[in-house]
Amino acid sequence: MTPLFAFQLRRVGRNKQFLFFTVALPALFTVFITKIIGGQMGDAAGFQDVAASVMVSMMAYGALGAALGATIRVSFDRASGWLRQLRVTPVPQTRVVAVDVAVGGLLTLPGLLVVALVGRFVNGVALPLGTWIALVGVLWAGSVAFVALGLLIGWSLEEKAAGGAIGILGVILAALGGLWWPVELFPGPMQVLARFMPSYWYAEMGRDVAAGGSPAVLTVAALAAFTAVFAVLAVTVARRRPLHAVSG
Amino acid sequence: MPDSPALDVRGLTVRYVGTVAVHDLDLTIPAGQTVALLGANGAGKSSVVNAVLGLITPAAGAVRVLGRTPHDAVRSGCVGAMLQHGGLPGEARVGEVLDLVRRSYPTSWPLDDLVVTAGIDGLLARPVDALSGGQRQRVLLALALAGAPPLLLLDEPTSAMDVEGRRAFWTTMRGLAGGGHTVVFATHHLEEADAVADRVVVVADGLVVADGSTAQVKARVAGRTIAFTATPGRRLEGLPAVTGVTRQGTTVTLATADADATLRALLADGGLPDLEVRGATLEDAVLSIVRDHPIGAAR
């Protein structure tokens, strides 16, 4: 698996936009939003709560953007004919898909780690070491939902539509899922809508861990359900793509 | 399986929604041959190639590649292919793509030689997105050759090349045949088939309508052409066996079914300055063969 994995990783790594939107932007947001909202808090404990919450939101934001951005690229590789070309080499198809999943999963880590470091050392979020590890671990594991969603979109949409979908989907998931501002500030119907966003459950999972507990069963179940639906749809769409079609 | 033919296609039928692209086609290609699949666009060439590579599931028939199923043959590295709609990945360098593909095969073509053979000297460090059409096609050839596979399938390999590039490519293909590779290429350039192939399979409307050496296919057209310089008043009507007359300035070209009879009559009528008599070109042959198989007749 190594040569194809390294190859795919290098290709995404060359994309400066990808690194900006999945690492730099969430890190900058973490600093700014914490300064703005946290600064309005009267006491240190209030600031601490805001800093931790914003950090978790931005970790989630960066990770879901990375997972989507890395996997939607499958649409570009289909359009260029590269996936067809790979089909006539000895590289097995299952490996091609497995590598895309692995690359998507791995690339959520830089954002998670950088935002956590910014939270710790710039914003002064104080958590026990075990909690830090659990937080990164849980968000890393949960990002599989967005790897599945990205593959679903990458296999469903043509190149241009998929390219546009990354941006739109990122905004919808972040805004409606309560990553840019807390869901508690939403009007009632919007709070209900947030619960239909996988990003909401994803961030909730991180908040439960950051608060020192383990994620609620409902939260994990909801995210797992989203993941399963995305994965099943992705596989269904992939199977239906005729191999002989020009863009297939 | 050393005794298996490189390619054995039996009763291949390929259907797309509403159309039959390949109709009960048989084709056996022994190892070491260089075969041109010749035909117009839509004749079914690509469908045959795609079925051989396992990219499409045939409606009927069996395909064996070196004694294996298409899928197994591809997986085991027996086949290298240049697809009509194959492509290269963005955000990668030529050398990286080539390295990836070479390493996926059990054996690989030595890099230095591969670069020379495919004509991609100086391109290894170049980003894929910065290649010209012809360069891109030569890189795709390098990918097909990367594993030094015994069977090469090239689907319209020179379609994006200029005349010069095309001729260089023919030299490469002849070299591959000399190196013991079985080369099967689809083309609609008759010149290409004539220059490279030692066997021509003419496909029309999903059927093999002619199969043999280029000489044999040409011989399917019995006629000859007679060209000479004629004075403007020269009588050309009523000559025996003539099937067509074209005038280009003072040069007259006659197509004839019996060169002997036509020449005798012409000589009896006067001199024949700048006389040229030649057999049918491959183009004449294919056109006449395909004419006998009008589209839709196979149904």
Say whether pLDDT at B158 is over 80.
yes
CB A140 within 8 A of CB A67: no
Q: CA-to-CA distance for B85 and B103, rounded, in angstroms?
A: 23
| Residue A224 β-bridge partners | none
Interface test with chain A among B100, B105, B152, by most A beta carbons within 10 Å = B100
Report the percent of chain B where pLDDT is more than 90.
43
Residue A131 lies in a domain: yes
Closest CA to B115 of B107, B125, B106, B105: B125
- Considering only CB atoms, which chain A residues are within 8 Å of B88? 80-82, 85
In DSSP notation, chain A reads: -HHHHHHHHHHHHT-HHHHIIIIIHHHHHHHHHIIIIITT-SSHHHHHHHHHHHHHHHHHHHHHHHHHHHHTTHHHHHHTTHHHHHHTSSS-HHHHHHHHHHHHHHTHHHHHHHHHHHHHHTS-----HHHHHHHHHHHHHHTHHHHHHHHHHHHHS-HHHHHHHHHHHHHHHHHHTTSSS-GGGS-HHHHHHHTT-HHHHHHHHHHHHHTTS---HHHHHHHHHHHHHHHHHHHHHHHHS-TTSTT-
Question: A185 lies in which domain range?
Answer: 2-240
Non-local CB neighbours of A144 within 8 Å, separated by 6+ positions: A67, A105, A227
Distances (CA, A) of B67 to A194, B18, B255: 58, 32, 46
- Considering only CB atoms, which chain B residues are within 8 Å of A92? 75
pLDDT tens column, B26-45: 999 999 999 999 888 888 89
Say whether pLDDT at B298 is over 60.
no
The phi and psi torsions of B274 (rounded to 5 degrees) equal 55, 35
Helix pair angle (B133-145, B94-104), 10° resolution: 20
Helix pair angle (A93-106, A2-13), 10° resolution: 50
Closest CA to B158 of B198, B185, B184: B185
Instruction: Calculate how close chain A gets to B88, using CA atoms only, in Å.
Output: 5
> Which band of pLDDT confidence, cut at 50, 70 and 90, is reported for residue A245?
very low
Of B55, B90, B101, the CB nearest to A89: B101
Residue A235 lies in a domain: yes
Residue A248 lies in a domain: no
pLDDT tens column, A73-125: 999 999 999 999 999 999 998 999 999 999 999 999 999 999 999 999 999 89
Distances (CA, A) of B179 to A5, B120, B218: 33, 19, 27
Residue A31 carries which side chain, given as an amino acid letter? V
Of A12, A82, A244, the CB nearest to B50: A244
Residue A246 lies in a domain: no
Cα radius of gyration rounded to whole Å, chain A: 19
Name the one residue in this structure whose structure tokens are 């039959």: B20
Name the one residue in this structure whose structure tokens are 């807390």: A182
| Vertex A42: Cα angle to A190 and A57 (nearest 5) | 40
The phi and psi torsions of B25 (rounded to 5 degrees) equal -95, 135
Tokens of A123: 């914003």
Residue A245 lies in a domain: no
Helix pair angle (B111-118, B94-104), 10° resolution: 120
In the prediction, which pLDDT does B171 show?
Answer: 86
**Are A90 and B106 in contact (CB < 8 Å)?**
yes
Q: Which helix (H) or strand (E) holds B67?
A: none
> Which band of pLDDT confidence, cut at 50, 70 and 90, is reported for residue A182?
confident
Distances (CA, A) of B148 to A177, B103, B155, B275: 53, 11, 18, 49
Residue A157 lies in a domain: yes
Torsion of CA A88, A91, B106, B116, to 10 degrees: 50
Tokens of B242: 């003539």
- Considering only CB atoms, which chain B residues are within 8 Å of A72? none
- For residue B72, the SS3 value is helix
Residue A222 lies in a domain: yes
CB A238 within 8 A of CB A213: no
What strands, in cross-sheet order, belong to the sheet with B242-248? B242-248, B251-256, B224-229, B276-279
Distances (CA, A) of B139 to B89, B97, B102, B119: 12, 9, 13, 8
Instruction: Give the range among A59-68, A220-229, B136-145, B178-187 with minimum mean pLDDT.
Output: B178-187
In DSSP notation, A23-44 reads: IIHHHHHHHHHIIIIITT-SSH
DSSP B93: B
- Considering only CB atoms, which chain B residues are within 8 Å of A14? 91
Closest CA to B142 of B109, B184, B175: B109
**Are B77 and A90 in contact (CB < 8 Å)?**
yes
Of B55, B81, B86, the CB nearest to A244: B55
pLDDT tens column, B237-296: 888 888 788 888 888 888 887 888 888 888 888 888 888 888 767 777 777 777 666 554
- For residue B143, the SS3 value is helix
Instruction: Calculate how close chain A gets to B258, using CA atoms only, in Å.
Output: 47
ipTM of the complex: 0.87
In the prediction, which pLDDT does B268 show?
Answer: 86
CB A149 within 8 A of CB A100: no
Q: CA-to-CA distance for B3 and B23, rounded, in angstroms?
A: 27
The number of folded domains in chain A is 1
Instruction: Calculate how close chain A gets to B297, using CA atoms only, in Å.
Output: 26
pLDDT tens column, B73-108: 999 999 999 998 889 999 999 999 999 999 999 999
| Vertex A133: Cα angle to A130 and A137 (nearest 5) | 135
- Considering only CB atoms, which chain A residues are within 8 Å of B157? none
> Which band of pLDDT confidence, cut at 50, 70 and 90, is reported for residue B72?
very high
Residue A133 lies in a domain: yes
Closest CA to B281 of B171, B200, B172, B203: B200
- Considering only CB atoms, which chain A residues are within 8 Å of B53? 87-88
| Residue A90 β-bridge partners | none
> Which band of pLDDT confidence, cut at 50, 70 and 90, is reported for residue B67?
very high
